[in-house]
Structure 1
Amino acid sequence: MIFITGCSGLVGSFIARRLLAAGHSVRALRRKDSNLHYLTDIKDQIEWVEGDVLDVSRLYDVMQGAKQVIHSAALVSFTPKTKDLMYKVNIEGTANVVNISLELGVDKLVFISSVAALGRRKNTEVIDEKAQWEPSKFNTHYAQTKYLAEMEVWRGHVEGLNSIVVNPSLILGPSPWERSSTQLFKYVWDEKKFYAAGSLNYVDVRDVAEIVYQLFVGEHTGERYIVNAGNISFKELFEKIAKTFNKRAPYIKVTPLIAAFAWRGALLQSFFTRKPPFISKETAYMSQKHFYYKNNKIIDTLNFKFKPLQESIDWACTELAQYNHLSV
């Protein structure tokens, strides 16, 4: 039996789908209020258990009998209000999964990290798996939590837990509007005017799931792998999404000065609406930058071919339109 955390999220749900298609039995951790909409076709095939990665006693109970573990649960946030909780969930939660896996004699742990955990530094635009973390203004608090979570995984590996770390870039796929990368699709659908000057790295969630599966069933251990299909400017990405949605693409370039005003305005707005700001100081700053994450290692290891970006966009837009009852 394979135990998965974060199964109700975009990545976890597609990993579960891939495992079930291959005939594996899956037990998945979920919170009581988890949205399972994108799992309607397979949710009855999954053994669901309620719990939380911070509840050690409950986690120990529900992980009994697991032969392998895929740890995908994480909190992604760039707002000060949830920073402390993010550190607790991402680092302490991972430590709990590692410790219980060691105690129960789990055969293999696959940790879904992020390219952010590799760190970003001044005068370094191309990054690979050999990158060494160092404190930098280019690293967000989220990046630091994922880096420290990786340290827990590597500590577990040294203690005898076969482990693999997967570092995806921005993951494209259909999920609720308010979640992670899907907010970019919502931004274009709403015909917002501004686009950031920087670029981003991207990967189709189906490719992430396939790579995790192949690494999981193979003999790979003690390695990390960047999972990234390519790099594209915000402007070009928005234009591609807009064309698919038949919407007007953002057309005003955001300068550093505009970005500074934007995050401050968003913070003030959130004070009155009680909702997380749509942009933070961290995201405003990073949206002006260019970094590229090399994918040579995973391509060579698995002889893998990533899906074309337009195929990923067309698929995500179609799924999102159906889910949100949109006319495209």
Structure 2
Amino acid sequence: MKVAVTGAAGFVGTNLVNQLVADGHDVVAIDRVCPDHALQHPSVTWSSIDIFDQDTLTAAFDSVDTVYHLVAMITLKQKDETAWRVNTEGVASTARAALAAGVRRFVHCSSIHSFDQYTDSGIVDETSARSENPSLPVYDRSKWAGEQELQKVVAEGLDAVICNPTGVYGAVDHGLSRINGMLRDAAQGRVPIFVEGTFDLVDVRDVARGLTLAAEHGRTGENYLIGGADVRLFDAMRTVAELCGRFQPLFAVPLGMLKAVVPIAEPISQLFGSDLVSRASISALVAQPTVDVSKARDELGYAPRPTAQTLADLVAFLWDSHQMGSAKPKSGDHFESIVPQLV
């Protein structure tokens, strides 16, 4: 089967292309550039296409059965015009190109952030409130707005389904993502302390599988939360540090202390071009919702792997890809003896 992936060079895109090739598909991989780590395979054709160029996209989607739309701009900023345009108009542009090309199915990779995690009951499922509050970060609001743009094209006849991954981490990642970057630092023994916080984290390979399951079994116009397990980041950091025989974080800073310094730290962070220390990032730490993935489990057959396996595989990947310096991981037997508390 011939399929297309936009954002194919990204974190999720790389793993999705790997999954699709393993499943025996021919892949049209679309991104601005073809990176050095890109899978070079007879069944993969790389194309540099602007997602706002509908005519070129339509031509690229010719004879394609399924389009996976992954292009997005992630930010913790309150406002960002580029992120808003990419995450909203970019979805509409790609969806209309798919409709014009006559593709059978369109799978949109949205985010848990399109659901309002901060004002709901503490449990997020597909019926939860959406990210409409103007005080929410632009990423949250734009991901929900992008889904609304897609639903307009569904009303015009496009057979589309939406997946909403939680916090994505794991191998392979040549980037690194925010979460993987923090875990790599911890594995190198460079994180003496960390803030308190528990998140639903999902292995990127499970996201890739969830997207393909949605293409096969998802109902038109429906959302499916693609989650993993609640992971206390402090515990995960101690685990990867121990796997590598490195210094482990000593303690987790209570969120109350962190909130007290945000008004001072946020403007300083902005001066250095960073959005890591912000009201948005702290709000995400405070929210810590429980994510219900039963709809994806029941309708798609989705089943995420254990957290312990993701952490062990990530450390092994970071070592094999020379992103760890001299922090060589210990034996596989040692993995199983120290990570069961995270499963």
Contact 1:196 / 1:288 at 8 angstroms: preserved in 2? no
Query: Which residue matches 2:339?
Result: none
Distance in 2 between the 1:136 and 1:249 partners? 39
2:121 aligned with 1:120: no
Instruction: Identify which of 76, 79, 83 aligns with 1:86.
Output: 83
The question of whether the paired residues in 2 share the 8 Å contact of 1:90 and 1:149 is answered with yes
Inter-CA distance 43–118: structure 2 relative to 1 (3 Å threshold): farther
- The runs of 4+ residues in structure 1 deviating greater than 4 Å are none
1:10 positional shift: 1.6
Separation of aligned partners in 2, 1:257 and 1:7 = 40
* Alpha-carbon offset, residue 263 of structure 1: 7.2
Asked whether the 8 Å contact 2:126–2:223 carries over to 1, the reply is: yes
Counterpart Cα distance in 1 of 2:41 and 2:134 = 41
**What pairs up with 1:176-255 in 2 under 5 angstroms?**
176-188=174-186, 189=188, 191-218=190-217, 220-250=219-249, 251-255=251-255
TM-superposed CA distance for 1:118, in Å, is 1.8
Distance 1:54 1:267, change over 3 A: farther
Count of aligned residue pairs for this structure pair: 322
**CA 1:124–1:50 in structure 2 vs 1: closer, same or farther (change >3 Å)?**
same
Equivalent AA in structure 1 for residue 236 of structure 2: L
Distance 1:132 1:277 in 2: 25
Alignment of 1:97-112 (within 5 A): 97-112=94-109
Shift in CA distance, 136/246, structure 1 to aligned 2, threshold 3 Å = farther
**Where does residue 302 of structure 2 map in the other structure?**
304
SS in 2 for 1:181: helix
Task: Give, in whole Å, the separation in 1 of the partners of 2:275 and 2:130.
Answer: 28
1:56 to 35, 54, 57: 54
Unpaired runs of 5+ residues, structure 1, are: none
Aligned to 2:268: 268
Mapping 1:154-169, distance limit 5 Å? 154-169=151-166
Unaligned runs of 5+ residues in structure 2 are 329-343
Query: In the alignment, what sits opposite 2:337?
Result: none
Q: What amino acid is aligned across from residue 227 of structure 2 in structure 1?
A: N
Question: Could you give the per-residue CA deviations for residues 266-309 of structure 1, whole angstroms, max 9, x where no partner exists?
Answer: 642552x5x43443331123223321110111112234332110
Distance 1:241 1:30 in 2: 32
On the 8 A contact 1:126/1:291 being kept in 2, the answer is: yes
Q: TM-score, normalized by length of structure 1?
A: 0.88
Q: Which deviates more, 248-257 or 111-120?
A: 248-257
Q: Write the deviation string for residues 167-222 of structure 1: whole angstroms up to 9, x where unpaired.
A: 11111223235423322213423522332333111111111112222222346433
Taking the aligned partners of 2:28 and 2:177, their CA distance within structure 1 comes to 24
Instruction: Give 1:30 shift.
Output: 1.3
The 3-state SS of whatever aligns with 1:288 is helix
TM-score (norm 2): 0.85
Shift in Å at residue 14 of structure 1?
Answer: 1.5
- For 1:305 and 1:313, locate their aligned partners in 2 and report how far apart those are by CA, in whole Å: 17
Moved more, 243-252 or 280-289: 243-252
- Per-residue CA distance 1:219-262 (angstroms, 9 max, x = gap): 64332111112112222222223222333333241433434525
Instruction: Work out which of the residue numbers 277, 280, 283 in structure 1 matches 2:281.
Output: 283
Residue type of the alignment partner of 1:268: I
Q: Take 2:7 and 2:94, find their aligned partners in 1: how far apart are those partners?
A: 12
